Structure 1
Amino acid sequence: MDVDAYVAAHDEEWKRLERLINNSRKLSGAEVDELVELYQRTATHLSVVRSSSPDPLLVGRLTSLVARGRAAVAGAQAPMWRDVSRFFTVSFPATAYRMRWWWIGCAVLGNLFSLAVAIWIVKNPDVQASIGTPGQIRELVEKDFANYYTEHSAASFAFKVWINNAWVSAVAIIFGILLGIPVIWVLFQNQLNLGLTGGLMVAHGKGDIFFGLILPHGLLELTAVYLACAAGLRLGWTIIDPGHRPRSQALPEEGRSTMNIALGLIVVLFVSGLIEGFVTGWVHTTWLRIGIGVVAEVAFLTYIFVLGRRAVRAGETTDILDGPDRAPTAA
C-alpha cells in the first residue's frame, strides 16, 4: 500500500473527525450523524493501516483518533454497567477462549509434573525423610493440612487467599515481558508444592483428606493460575515471534488483550477464595464440598467455551481499543 497516497486520500476525513470530537458537546443532530460515520470509517482505516503499513506514527495517530472517537460517540450514551457487562460477556471469555490451547497445555503439563512428584515421594521413603523429620511430617498430614482451612475466620481467610492467588496470577502475567521464561518457574513451583503435599498425604494414608480438601476450591483456583500462566507465556512468545504483524504492533495488541485476563481473573479468584474460605474447611460432607467445586469449575468452563466461542465467531478482536460498535465500511 502507498502510505502517502492513502493519507492524502483520507487526511481531510481524519481532520474533520478530530474537529467534531473537539466540539462533541455542541454538535447538531446532523453533525452527530457525521461524527458516527467518520468514526466508523476511521476505525476501518486503522484496520487497513495496521495490516498493510509498518508506519508507527500513522498507526499511533489513527489509534488515538479512534479511541477518542469511540469515547465521543459512546461515552455519553453508554452507562458504565454496559461496558462492564460487555467485558464479562464478550471481552474476557473471548480472550480466554482464544488462548485455550495455551492454558490447557499448562494444565496438562503442570498436573503431569505434580503427579510425577507425588508418585516419586510415595514410592521413596528416603525422599520423604529428606523433606522433614518424622514428627514434622506427621504434624503436617495429621493436623496442619486440614487445620489450615479453619484456623482463621472464613471471611478473613477467603480474603487472604484471594489476595495471595491474585498476586501469584499477576506475577505470572507480568513475567511475560521477560520472554515468558520466569512464568514457567511460577507454574512448576506451584505444581511442585501441590505434588509434594499430595505425595506426603497419600504416603501416610491421608489421600482422601487431601483430595477432599483440595478439590473444592482447587479446581477453579488452579484453572485461574493456568490461565494467568498462559497469558504470560503467550505475551512472552509474541516478543519472540510476533507472527505476520510488526512487533511494534503485536506487542501492544497482545498486552491489551492480556489485560482482559488480568481483570477477569480478579473475579474468578474471588469466587475460588469464597469457596476456599466458606466451603473447604466448613462444609463437613465430603461429596457436597467436592460437588460445589465441580459445579463452579464446570460453570466457568461452560462460560468460557460458550460465550468465548460465540464472541470469537462474531469477530471479537479482544483488543480493548476496538469498540463494540465498530462497523465495516468502505475504505
Structure 2
Amino acid sequence: MDIDAFVSAHRPTWDRLEHLVKHRSSLTGAEVDELVDLYQRVSTHLSIVRSSSSDAMLAGRLSALVARARSAVTGSRNPAWREVVRFFTVSFPVVAYRTRWWWLATSLAFVAVAWALGAWVAGDPRVQASIATEEAITQLVEHDFADYYSENPAASFANRVWINNALVSLQVIAYAVLLGLPIPYVLWQNAANVGISGGLMASRDKLDIFFGLITPHGLLELTAVFLAAAVGMRLGWTVIAPGPRRRVEVLAEHGRAVMAVALGLVVVLFVSGLIEAFVTPSGLPTAARVGIGVLAEVVFLGYVIAFGRRAARDDQTGDLEDAPDVAPSG
C-alpha cells in the first residue's frame, strides 16, 4: 500500500472527524449523523493501516482519533477525578473571570456605600445617638466588636461562619430568578452594617482595631459575596437581554455556569471561615494577620485570572460539556 497516497486521500476525512469531535457539544442533527458515519469510516482506515502498513505514528494518530470519536458517539463520561479537576481549572474560574466587570462594579459600589456611611456616622454625633446610646456604643467599641471573634471555640466558630456565609452567597445567587432585583438590597444591608460599625469605631479612634480585625478574613469573604452577587445579577440580566440566542437557552447555560460559582464559593468561604476563626482572633501582630488576609486574597484573584483567562481564550463558558439542552440529537 502506498501510505503517502492513502494519507493524502483520507486526510480531509480525518480532519473533519477531529473537528466534529472537538465541537460535539454544539453539533446539529445532520452533523451527528456525519460524526457516526466518519467514525465508522476512520475505524476501517485504522484497520487497513494496522494490517497493511508499519507506520506506527499514523496508526497511533488514527487510534487516538477513533477512541475520541467512540467516546463522543457512545457518550462515555470522564472519570470523576477529571470532572473535579475540570471544575477547579475551567468551570469555576472561567465563570468568575467572564463576570469580572460585574464583579468589579459590585465591589466598588459596596466599598463606596460603606465608606460614605462610615464617614457620615463617624463625623456626626447626632447620627451616632440615633443608632445607639453612649453606653451601648462604648460597649461595642471597647468589648463586643473584638470579643465576637474569640467568644466561641475556634473550630465551632469556623463551622458556623462558613455555613452562614455559604448560605448568604447561595441566597444572593438564588435571587437571580427574580432578575437579580433583590441583590442590591442585600448588598446595601451588608454595606450598611460594615459602614456603621466602622463609623462607630472611628468615632472613638478605634479604626485600627476595626481594620485589624475585619481585614484578615473580610477581604476574601467580601470578595466571595461580591462574586456571588455579580453572577446573580448577570444571570438576571440575561433574561432581559439574551442577545441573538433564544432566551431559554441562554438562561439555562448561564444558570448552570452560575451553579459552578456557587459550589466554588463554598470552598472559598471555607478558607475565609478558617481565617476568621483561627487568624483574626489570634495573638499574631496586626501586620501578620492582615498580611495573611491579603495573601489569601491575592492567591484567589491570581487563580481566577490565570485559569479563567486561559479557559476564556479557549472559548469555555463554564457550562457542562454535554449539557442536555445543547447536546446534539439525531
TM-score over 0.5 for the alignment?
yes
Partner SS state of residue 316, structure 2: coil
The answer for the alignment partner of 1:223 in structure 2 is 223
Q: Which residue of 1 aligns with 2:121?
A: 121
Whole-Å separation in 1 of the counterparts to 2:283 and 2:86 = 35
How far, CA to CA, are the matches of 1:14 and 1:274 in structure 2? Answer: 50
Q: Aligned residue for 2:134?
A: 134
* 1:158–1:276 CA contact under 8 A, matched in 2: yes
Q: Report deviation, 1:188.
A: 1.2
Query: CA shift at 1:38, angstroms?
Result: 6.5
In the alignment, is residue 104 of structure 1 matched against residue 136 of structure 2?
Answer: no
In structure 2, the residue matched to 1:277 is 277
Shift of 1:85: 1.4
Q: How far apart are 1:83 and its partner, in Å?
A: 1.3
Inter-partner Cα distance in structure 1 for 2:63 and 2:296: 49
- Please state if 1:37 is matched with 2:37: no
Q: How far, CA to CA, are the matches of 2:295 and 2:66 in structure 1?
A: 49
Deviation at 1:31, TM superposition (A): 12
Alpha-carbon distance in 1 for matches of 2:89, 2:162: 23
Is 2:218 the counterpart of 1:200? no
Contact 1:13 1:38 in 2 (8 A): no
- CA deviation after TM superposition for structure 1 residue 14, in Å: 8.3
Over residues 110-162 of structure 1, what are the superposed CA-to-partner deviations in whole Å (9 max), with x where a residue is unaligned? 00000000011011111100101111111101000000000001111111110
In structure 1, distance between residues paired with 2:150 and 2:100: 35
Alpha-carbon offset, residue 320 of structure 1: 1.6
Matched residue of 1:115: which SS?
Answer: helix
Q: Aligned partners of 1:93 and 1:315: how far apart in 2?
A: 13
Query: SS of 1:282's equivalent?
Result: coil
1:168 aligns with 2:168: yes
CA drift at 1:187: 1.1
Deviation at 1:259, TM superposition (A): 0.8
Unaligned runs of 5+ in 1: 1-5, 18-29, 43-68, 324-331
How much has 1:248 moved relative to structure 2? 1.4
After superposition, what is the alpha-carbon deviation per residue over 1:83-114, rounded to whole angstroms, capped at 9, x for unaligned? 11111111111110000011111000000000
Shift of 1:321: 3.4
Q: In 2, Cα distance between the equivalents of 1:206 and 1:12?
A: 71
Please show how residues 246-325 of structure 1 align to structure 2 within 5 Å. 246-322=246-322
- Describe the superposition over 1:143-184 as per-residue Cα deviations: whole angstroms up to 9, x where unpaired: 000000000011111111101100110010000110111011
Q: 1:81 to 1:204 in 2, by over 3 A?
A: same
Cα distance in 2, alignment partners of residues 228 and 12 from structure 1: 41
Aligned to 2:24: none
Q: 1:205-233 deviations in whole A, cap 9, x for unaligned?
A: 11000000000000000000000000110
Structure 2 stretches of 5 or more lacking a match? Answer: 1-27, 39-61, 324-330
1:270 counterpart letter in structure 2: F
Q: Cα deviations across residues 44-97 of structure 1 (Å, max 9, x unaligned)?
A: xxxxxxxxxxxxxxxxxxxxxxxxx54x2x34xx2x222111111111111100
Distance 1:92 1:283, change over 3 A: farther
Work out the number of aligned pairs and report it.
Answer: 273
The residue number in structure 1 matching 2:148 is 148
Code of the aligned partner of 1:144: D
Q: Which residue of 2 aligns with 1:158?
A: 158
Cα distance 1:39–1:117, how it changes in 2: closer, same or farther (>3 A)?
same
The percentage of counterpart residues that share the same residue type is 52
Residue identity in the other structure for 1:292: I
Contact 1:231 1:258 in 2 (8 A): yes
**Aligned with 1:180: secondary structure?**
coil
Under a length normalisation based on structure 2, what TM-score does the superposition of the two structures give? 0.78
Q: 2:182 is matched with which residue?
A: 182
Distance in 1, Cα, partners of 2:102 & 2:84: 26
The residue number in structure 2 matching 1:82 is 82
Work out the CA distance in 1 between the residues paired with 2:291 and 2:32. 60
Map of 2:233 onto structure 1: 233
**Aligned-pair distance for 1:13?**
5.6
RMSD: 2.3
Q: 1:263 to 1:124 in 2, by over 3 A?
A: same
Mapped partners of 1:262, 1:100: distance in 2? 16
User: Matched residues in 2 for 1:294 and 1:315: separation?
Assistant: 31
| Partner residue, 2:7 | none
Equivalent-residue separation in structure 2 for 1:314 and 1:33 (angstroms): 20
